[in-house]
Structure 1
Amino acid sequence: MKFKMSELAVLLALFPGIGIALHAQRPTDIVKWTATITKSTKTSTNVALSATVADGWHVYALSQGTGGPNPLKISVPSGSAFVLKAPVADAGVTKHYDTSFKMETVYYLKTINLNVALEGISAAPPATLPIDVRFQACSDRLCLPPYTAHLSATPKDK
Structure 2
Amino acid sequence: MSMIVKMPRRTWSVLAAVLVAGSVLLAGAPAEAQFGNASQVEFSAQVLPATDKLPVRLAITVDIEEGWHIYSITQAKGGPRPTQLLPAASDDYTLAGEFTPSVAPVIHVYEDIWPDLNVEEHTGTVTWTVPLKLADGVDAASLLIEGTVRGQVCNEEQCNNFAKEFEAELE
Compute the TM-score of the two structures, normalised by the length of structure 1: 0.70
Question: AA paired with 1:100?
Answer: I
Alignment RMSD: 2.2
Question: AA paired with 1:39?
Answer: P
Question: Is residue 100 of structure 1 aligned with residue 116 of structure 2?
Answer: no
**C-alpha distance in structure 2 between counterparts of 1:122 and 1:149, whole Å:** 30
Contact 1:76 1:82 in 2 (8 A): no
Question: AA paired with 1:92?
Answer: A
Give SS of 2:133's match: strand
Contact 2:92 2:143 in 1 (8 A): no
Give 1:37's match in structure 2, choosing from 44, 47, 50: 47
Matching residue of 1:62: 73
Give 1:50's match in structure 2, choosing from 61, 65, 78: 61
Structure 1 segments of 4+ aligned residues over 6 angstroms from their partners: none
From the superposition, tell whether residues 122 and 69 of structure 1 become closer, same or farther in structure 2 (CA, over 3 Å).
farther
Compute the TM-score of the two structures, normalised by the length of structure 2: 0.65
Matching residue of 1:116: 130
Question: Is residue 87 of structure 1 aligned with residue 98 of structure 2?
Answer: yes
Matching residue of 1:5: none
**C-alpha distance in structure 2 between counterparts of 1:114 and 1:74, whole Å:** 9
Structure 1: gaps spanning 5 or more residues: 1-24
**C-alpha distance in structure 2 between counterparts of 1:85 and 1:66, whole Å:** 25
Aligned-pair CA distance for 1:105: 0.4
From the superposition, tell whether residues 112 and 140 of structure 1 become closer, same or farther in structure 2 (CA, over 3 Å).
same
Matching residue of 1:21: none
Aligned-pair CA distance for 1:120: 2.2
Q: Percent of aligned pairs with the same residue?
A: 19
Aligned-pair CA distance for 1:122: 5.6
**C-alpha distance in structure 2 between counterparts of 1:48 and 1:110, whole Å:** 16
- Higher normalized strand content (fraction of residues): 1
Matching residue of 1:16: none
Contact 2:96 2:132 in 1 (8 A): yes
Aligned-pair CA distance for 1:40: 5.3
Contact 2:60 2:127 in 1 (8 A): yes
Structure 2: gaps spanning 5 or more residues: 1-35
Give 1:75's match in structure 2, choosing from 73, 80, 86: 86
Give SS of 1:144's match: strand
